[in-house]
Structures are given as C-alpha cells and as structure tokens.
Amino acid sequence: MNAVLRRLEWATMGEAERRLLTERSLADVVSQSLRTEIMSLLEDVRVRGDDAVCDATRRFDGVSLRPEQLRIGTDEIMAARVGDDVQAALVDAIDHVRRFNEAVRARLTDWSMEIAPGAHVGEKLTPITSVGLFVPGGKASYPSVAYQLGVPAVVAGVPRIAVLVPPLPDGSGRVDPGVLVVCRLLGIHEVYRANGPAGVAALGFGTRTIAAVRKIVGPGSPAVTAAQVEMQRHGVATMMVLGPTESMMIADHSTDPRRAALDLLIEAEHGEDSTVVLVAVERNTVDAIDAELDQLLAQMPTTRAASARSALGVNGGAVLVATLAEACDVVNAFAPEHLQLAIERPRADDLVARINNAGEILVGQDTPFSAANFALGCPASLPTSGFAAVSSGITVAAFMKTTAIASASEAALRRMSATITALADHEGFPAHGNSLRRRFD
C-alpha cells in the first residue's frame, strides 16, 4: 500500500508545528506578486471600463468580446437548457436552499423595547440595494454556486441582483447553461460574461455596460479573491475569503473506513491547493482509512487523484489525538470550512456542543460533504483560511442589514442628561454637552 495521509500526532507537535497546520492567512492565498497584478488590472478597469474588461477576458480567458456582448440577453437566458436529470436536481436543490433561507429570514425580525422609562430602541431589517454574485466558470460548471448565492439574495428581497460568470474556454463566448437555467428559475435577468477579476472590478466601479453594485460575493480563484479584497479599498463590501476549499473529519473506532475515505475525497479532489485533514483517536482507524484511500485514488482520473494526494498529503493529513475532546481542540484551532463528525450520533451531539469554529458541522456518516454542497439546503459558500472563527456562511443574512431606531421623551432625555454631559466633557466635545445643558434653559 502507498500511504496517502501525512501522519501527525497532536501531543508531540510543538507550537510552531501546530501553527503550521492550523494557521492560514490571506497571504497564503494571494501572493504579493498576484496582488500587484490584480491592483493594476482593477485600475485599468476603473479608467477604461468596458474596454479593459474585454481586453482582460481576451487575455486570460481566450475569448474575444465586444462591450455590448458582456451582458447576456434575456433570449439567451430563456433558451438555456440542461438535461432532464440536472433540471430536476436544480429544482430540488433550489427548493431546499430556499426553505432553509426562508427559515433564517423568519428569525430575522424588526424589534423594539423600552430601554428606560420613555426611551425606546430597536432595529429594522432591510435588504442591501444591489449585489453582485460571482459564479466560477471557464474550465468547470458550477450551477450549485449560482443557487447557493442567488437563493439567499432573492429571499432577502435584494432589488437588484447581478450575476457574473466567466465564459467557456472554447472561444464562443457562451457561458455554462446550467448557471443560466438557475438564473431563469430564480428570476435573475442581469447576467454578465467576463473575466473574473476584471468583472469584479466592473461590478465595483461600474462601467457603461455593467452598473455598479454595493456588495460582491462568491468563491473563485486566488485572482478573484484578490480582486474582491482589493475592491474593499474602493468602498465595495465583500465577504470573507472563499477558497481554496478545506475540510476536516473526526473519526473514532465506530467510523466505517470505506465511507470515511469516500467522503475525505470529496473536497480533496477540488485542486492541489485544497486541504483535507482527518482527526482520529485511534491509529488503526487511520491505517484502515489510508488503505481505502489508496485503492480509491487508483480508480480516479489522474488529475483529480493528483489533487487529492496533495490535499491529503502535502497540505493536510491525519492528526492522531488522545481523546475526542482533544479532537475538538484541533478543530477549533483550525476553524475548517467543512467538518464531518464521522462517529456515532450520541458522541457526535456532544462534539457539536464543544465545537465553535467551523463553517458547517455535518453529523454522521450519512451526511457527506457532497450532500451539503448540493442538496441539503444549508449554506455551501463558507469561510476558509481560518475565517470560520469569526464569520459565517452565506445565507439570507449576508444580504440584509439592520438600522437602529430610537426615540426618547423629554423626561427620558432629562434623566440621561447627566450621563451625556459627563461623557461629552470627558471626551472633549462641547457641542455634545451643550445640546443638553442649553436645551432646557
């Protein structure tokens, strides 16, 4: 057998070695040279608009477009077709994602309370006015990303939703018909074909053809990630880092090795920059899963197998821990995008309570990453690079904002005047204090 998993033991790893495994940063995704290149591209789009977008699409995607071809017409969206099985799958998946997000939206409500006699405070929720959704394309098809981003935006009630997708690499200028079918099913009619980073810039700055939006979300290549991060400097809201993909699995004596190996390969096949980590309490479990991985990899296409070996070997591996509690410590330190608890349900429920840092927690071996990615309805665009410690996956909440609302009676304001004037004087703002001192003269 050829060992697939890099072997590590948490108890014997020093602090530096632990940090090497668990700490990822934006610099790991976006090199300085790439950032410099992207900054130049963004500036070109800011200055030259559509022409710069078309030049970038020709240079990086091998597709020549005129500015008027950047926006995909309604006729093309309505004509897009996929196989009957894919059509049915999209309808089913969209239904699940919609119901999940409608449940989230129902829990996000306006509220008000009397915080002191005569003083009321509260919040109202409203959707963001415009959003841009980046759906990866080009060499692969990702209609699942289109509905995982599009459904929450629709449920939020965003008035203007723009979708950006790179054209297929055959030079025709066409885009993935599956993405267009999703847009049609969701009632999204503003769709653009363009190079990813240049398109992100166009959505941020606005061009003659592509109107600016207030927020841009969506997973993509390091170049797309760099573009989204840099656009924040120009006042465009974006989300946490979305990629490269990463996953963790906790296993014990009850874990079925074959099913564990099958599930570890789900995220491992994405690319050579993916990271997949198995956290196990028994060495025999690691050995059994490793043997299954070796057999399964031999049956995979060469490119996908190479990606998986990198994700499971160079970038990830197996971490041996003494207890399931220690396994939770590893997870919380790593803050994975995806986590599967491939153990018996009673123990898994206890671990769910212990784990705070994970984009998603999938409980049991009947809940593989692929089920969550495509069909369960929970968010699949999740924070990576450790951002799961501070942020969440993309749901309807990502497309909404709160506005605080307050009112006070004169009696309530008089009661607060001593607090207001004391703090205003301490911080050196005389007008703040005078607004109370002189109001009641």
What residues act catalytically?
337-338
Please give the structure tokens belonging to residue 437. 């001192």
The order of strands in the sheet holding 111-116 is: 111-116, 119-127, 400-408
For the four alpha carbons of 367, 85, 139 and 298, in that order, the dihedral sign comes to positive
In whole angstroms, give the CA distance from residue 393 to residue 383: 6
Distance in angstroms between the alpha carbons of the first and the last residue of the chain: 88
Angle at 186 between CA 181 and CA 189, to 5 degrees: 75
Pick the closest to residue 132 from 44, 220, 56, 73 (CA basis). 220
In whole angstroms, give the CA distance from residue 160 to residue 127: 10
Q: Are 192 and 165 in contact (CB under 8 A)?
A: yes
User: 157 — alpha (psi -120 to 50), left (phi > 0) or beta?
Assistant: left
Q: Are 296 and 347 in contact (CB under 8 A)?
A: no
Burial 1-24 (b: 16+ CB within 10 A, else e): eebbbbebebeebeeeebeebbeb
